[in-house]
Chains A and B, each alone.
Chain A
Amino acid sequence: MNFMNSKGKLLGLGAICGVIAAALAYFGNPANMAFCIACFIRDTAGALGLHQAEVVQYARPETIGLVIGAFLIAIGTKEYKSTGGSSPMTRFVLGICMMVGALIFLGCPLRMILRMSAGDLNAWVALIGFVLGIVTGVFFLKKGFTLGRAYETQKMSGSVISILALGILILATFTSLLKVSQAGPGSMHAPIILSLIGGLLFGAIAQKSRMCFAGSIRDVVMLKNFDLFFGVLGLFIVMLIYNVVMGKFTIGFDTPGIIAHSDHLWNILGMYIVGFAAVLLGGCPLRQLILAGQGSSDSAITVLGMLIGSAICHNFGLASSGTALNPETQEVVKGAVTANGKVAGIICIVVLFVIAFTNKRKEV
C-alpha cells in the first residue's frame, strides 16, 4: 500500500491534526497551547507532584492519548517493535536539554507552529533558532554522529510506557491523588474525553504519517525532501484559518495572555537547543512520544528525560514567564527569561556539543 506517500495526503493528515488542535482550543485548552508536548508533559509532571508550580499541574489526556494512540495503531498495523539499547542515558540527558530549551522559549516545536499561526512574532523569531539547531545537528550527522543502534528487546518492554500512561489516566479519572491546577494554564482544558480522543487520533495519525517537526526541516536541509514538511504545513494552514475566523490572530510581540515572551535572543537559543537535541535524538518531542508508543524504550527514556527536565525547570526556576496583563493596574507586564534559565540554557548548549563531538560511528 502506498497511500501515505503523496505530499497531498500528508498535507491532509497534517490538516486533520490541525483540526484536532483547533477543536481542543475551542473546547477549553489554553490560548495558543491547544496541543503542546513540552507544556503537557510539564503539566503532567506537576500533576504527579514532581514540581510544585501550582498553575501548571494537570495530567493532560492528550499526551497519554498520543502514546496509547501510537501504540494501538502500531499493534494494529504490525509496526509495533520492542527495541532499546541506543545510549539510553545519553538520550535521557538530551530529553532534559530539550525540555529546558522548550521551557525557555515556552513551547515545543508543535506549539511554535501554533503560535506562528496566531501571529505571535516571537515564535517566528524562535523558528530561526530551531532551524539553526537542526542545521547544527545535521552538520554532526554528516560527520558521523550516532548514539548507536537499537536492538530488539522482550516484547513487553516496549509497551511499559503505554501501560504507565494508562495508569496515570486511571489515577486522574477515578481518584483525587493527582494535583489539578485551580488557576492558570493548568486549569484550562478541554473535557477529558475530548482531550483523550484528540490525543488518540493525533497519535495514530502522527504514527502513520511519521510526523516530525525537526525531521521535516532536517529532510529539507539534508535531502531537499519536502514530504514531512507538507504535514506541518497542513497543520499550520488549518490553525491559521481557525485563528483568523475566531478572531485570535494578532500580529505582534509582547502580546499579553498568550504565554510567550519577547526576549529574542533566548527565544532563538531556546529553540536552538530543541532543534539541535531533536536531530541528535532522531526526532522532536512529538516524535519521541510516538516512537515510545510503538515500542522504542530509547524514546521512552527520552520522554522520562523530558518529564524530569520539566520538573527541574520549575523546581530550579529555569522556566520563563509569559507576558501578562496585571489584573489590578491593567498594565502589560513583560515576560522574561530567568537568570537560572539562561545559565541552564548555556549548560545545555555545551552538553549538546559535548554529546555531538563524543558519539561517533566507528570507521571500518
Chain B
Amino acid sequence: MRKKELKLVVTFHTTADAMAMEKAAKDFGLKGRIIPVPRVISSGCGMSWTSDLLEKEQVLAVMEKAGIDVEELHEVLI
C-alpha cells in the first residue's frame, strides 16, 4: 500500500471552478491533480485540487491568474 503523505488540498465553491483549475494547471504547467474532496473535509463542491505542500505559492498564483476563487486550503494526509 502506498504510504500516505501530507498534501495541499484546495476546495472550490463549484465543480466548474475545479474543472477550470485542472485546465489552468495544464496551461501553466502546475503539478497536481483533481481528486474527490477527502472525507475529512466537509466543505467544497465534491472535487478538490491536490498538490505537494511545496507548490502552495504556485497553486495560489495560478488560481489568481485564472480567476478561480479558493474556498478553503487544507493540509491532508493522502
Contact = CB atoms under 8 A, between A and B. Distances in A.
A361 B14 contact: yes
Nearest to B41: A79
Contacts of A210: 37, 39, 46
A150 B13 contact: yes
B45 interface: yes
Interface stretch (A28-36, A184-192, A221-229): A221-229
Majority secondary structure of chain B interface residues (helix, strand, loop or mixed): loop
Contact of A144 (B20, B36, B38, B67): B20
Nearest to A209: B39
Instruction: Tell which of B14, B20, B34, B69 has the most Cβ of chain A within 10 Å.
Output: B14
B15 A5 contact: no
A79 B42 contact: yes
B35 A141 contact: no
A350 to B, nearest CB: 22
Contacts of A147: 14
A: contact size bracket: 20 to 34
B77 A2 contact: yes
Given A1-B40, A2-B40, A5-B40, A148 B35 contact: no
A225 B13 contact: no
A149 B46 contact: no
B14 A149 contact: yes
A361 B46 contact: no
Contacts of B17: 146, 149, 361
Contact of B16 (A79, A146, A219, A228): A146
Nearest to A359: B16
Contacts of B66: 364
Interface of A: 1-2, 4-5, 74, 77, 79, 81, 86, 141-142, 144-150, 208-210, 215, 219, 222-223, 225, 227-228, 282-283, 294, 360-361, 364
Given A222-B34, A223-B36, 9 more contacts: A79-B42, A144-B19, A149-B14, A149-B69, A208-B39, A210-B37, A210-B46, A225-B36, A361-B14
